[in-house]
């Protein structure tokens, strides 16, 4: 799996409507009003915040490879996917990421799993003292609590976890390579988890590609572990998955703004109360609109203007704010973003 493949999938969703930076912001998980609207409007939530620390140079290298192979073109800052690129994107199939709901918390799940495996392995070897794989106190306490809830012997606990992992990996449908990555990253009593460099040498794949494979596999493992029926089928993994999924769609700051908005304060009043810029509050309001099917858009835009913009979007398949602004100069960018946010999911 290559970064360029993921960028191609995102670009295909935004075809002819957004710049390359829009894809970069999605992968990094930028919490701006525009990006939060884009991920919902273009259905790219699975890729949100996949690589928070993605370097500009790494992203640029992947983009150049797509351009050189004739997959994408860029004109006036807007990216379009060529017919060759569309065929390639289709052949790639669907990736099984869930960046929107995990946003980096998948690593917490894996650290819990690694520490539990290490602990059970050490106890099974009658070693009550060892150096834990992580110094995170919260992770350590979580694993202790999981162990205390296990009403079986140490040997049975280790065996039960091994059986759960085998069943869970089968349920995920991940590839052999992904299963190898997950298993080789684990640490036992007499075996340390492999480094990415060791995995690279062993598989012949680049570290960057392996890390994407690992990330997708981890997302799929968490997904089966947090299912309702997993409480019975995968009780240990189900506990490890507790609290990993982010259910609240709003950022903490936006949630505060929403409380004031629900009290019917104006944007200017909210900005004063919160001591934030009006533009920041507008971003918050857009985020609220994106995640609220009953958002009162009539407070900001007349119904006639809403219908006119919606008709323009459907008729000409336009989702670029600048083009909509040219067509409706009397509407602000904020108003246009709200209209797009509240018409998500409708055919265009």
- DSSP line for 24-93: HHHHHT---HHHHHHHHHTT-GGGTTS-TT--HHHHHHHHHHHHHTTSEEEETTEEEE-HHHHHHHHHH-
pLDDT at 344: 57
Q: Which CATH fold would you assign to the domain 252-342?
A: Arc Repressor Mutant, subunit A (1.10.10)
Separation between Cα atoms, residue 329 and residue 307, nearest integer Å: 15
Q: Tens of pLDDT along 83-140?
A: 999 999 999 988 999 999 999 899 999 999 999 999 998 888 777 788 888 999 999 9
Helices 252-262 and 278-290: crossing angle in degrees, nearest 10, is 90
The pLDDT of 158-166, averaged and rounded, is 91
Q: How far apart are CA 312 and CA 310, in angstroms?
A: 5
Average pLDDT over residues 48-56: 93
In this structure, which topology does domain 3-98 adopt according to CATH? Arc Repressor Mutant, subunit A (1.10.10)
* The two three-digit tokens of residue 155, written as one number: 């040997």
Tell me the pLDDT of the chain averaged across its residues: 90
- CA nearest 329: which of 312, 347, 346? 312
User: Rounded to whole angstroms, how far apart are CA atoms 219 and 314?
Assistant: 35
Q: What is the mean pLDDT of residues 154-164?
A: 82
Q: Which residues contact 33 (CB under 8 A, 6 or more apart)?
A: 282, 283, 284, 285, 286, 287, 337
Provide the token pair at 54: 């993605």
Which structure tokens are listed for 199?
A: 């995995």
Question: For residue 153, what pLDDT is reported?
Answer: 53
Contact between residue 6 and residue 14 where contact means Cβ atoms under 8 Å apart: no
Let me know: does 278 contact 286? Beta carbons within 8 Å.
Answer: no
Q: What is the pLDDT of residue 249?
A: 76
Specify whether the CB–CB gap between 127 and 154 falls below 8 A: no
Measured between alpha carbons, how far is 286 from 278 in angstroms, rounded to an integer?
12
What percent of the chain is modeled with pLDDT above 70? 97
Confidence check: pLDDT of 160 > 50: yes
Query: What radius of gyration do the chain's Cα atoms show?
Result: 24
Which stretch of 183-187, 208-212, 248-252, 309-313 has the lowest confidence by average pLDDT? 248-252
Average pLDDT over residues 200-219: 94
- Domain boundaries for CATH 1.10.10.10 within the chain: 3-98
**pLDDT greater than 90 at residue 315:** no
Confidence of residue 348 (pLDDT cuts 50, 70, 90): very low
> Exposed, middle or buried by CB within 10 Å (0-12, 13-18, 19+), for 36?
buried
For residue 165, pLDDT beyond 70: yes
CA distance linking residue 343 with residue 306, whole number of Å = 9
Question: What six digits make up the tokens of 266?
Answer: 């104006």
Q: What are phi and psi of 250, to 5 degrees?
A: -90, 145
Kindly report, residue by residue over 236-261, the tens digit of the pLDDT: 999 999 999 987 778 788 999 999 99
Q: How far apart are CA 116 and CA 108, in angstroms?
A: 12
Please give the Cα distance from 18 to 15 (Å, whole number). Answer: 7
- Banded pLDDT at 156 (limits 50, 70, 90): confident
pLDDT at res. 345: 45
Q: Is the dihedral of CA 334, 339, 345, 347 positive or negative?
A: negative
Question: What is the rounded distance in angstroms from the CA atom of residue 288 to the CA atom of residue 109?
Answer: 29
C-alpha span between 286 and 203 (Å, rounded): 45
């Amino acid at each position: 799996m290559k970064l360029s493949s993921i960028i191609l999938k995102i670009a295909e969703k935004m075809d002819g409507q957004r710049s390359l930076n829009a894809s970069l912001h999605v992968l990094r998980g930028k919490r701006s009003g525009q990006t939060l609207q884009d991920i919902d409007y273009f259905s790219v939530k699975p890729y949100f915040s996949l690589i928070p620390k993605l370097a500009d140079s790494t992203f640029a290298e992947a983009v150049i490879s797509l351009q050189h192979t004739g997959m994408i073109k860029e004109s006036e800052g807007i990216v379009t996917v060529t017919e060759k690129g569309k065929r390639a994107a289709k052949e790639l199939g669907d990736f099984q990421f869930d960046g929107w709901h995990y946003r980096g918390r998948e690593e917490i799940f894996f650290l819990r799993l690694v520490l539990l495996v290490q602990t059970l392995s050490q106890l099974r070897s009658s070693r009550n003292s060892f150096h834990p794989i992580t110094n995170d106190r919260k992770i350590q306490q979580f694993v202790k609590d999981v162990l205390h809830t296990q009403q079986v012997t140490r040997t049975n606990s280790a065996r039960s976890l091994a059986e759960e992992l085998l069943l869970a990996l089968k349920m995920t449908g991940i590839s052999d390579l992904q299963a190898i990555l997950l298993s080789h990253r684990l640490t036992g009593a007499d075996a340390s988890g492999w480094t990415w460099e060791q995995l690279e040498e062993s598989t012949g794949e680049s570290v960057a590609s392996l890390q994407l494979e690992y990330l997708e596999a981890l997302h799929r493992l968490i997904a089966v572990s947090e299912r309702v029926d997993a409480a019975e089928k995968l009780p240990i993994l189900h506990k490890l998955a507790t609290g990993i999924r982010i259910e609240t769609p709003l950022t903490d700051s936006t949630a505060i703004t929403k409380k004031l908005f629900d009290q019917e304060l104006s944007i200017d009043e909210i900005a004063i109360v919160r001591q934030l810029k009006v533009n920041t509050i507008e971003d918050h309001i857009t985020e609220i609109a994106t995640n609220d099917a009953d958002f009162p858009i009539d407070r900001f835009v007349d119904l006639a203007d809403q219908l006119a913009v919606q008709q323009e979007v459907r008729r000409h398949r336009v989702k670029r704010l600048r083009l909509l602004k040219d067509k409706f100069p009397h509407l602000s960018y904020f108003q246009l973003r709200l209209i797009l946010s509240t018409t998500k999911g409708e055919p265009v």
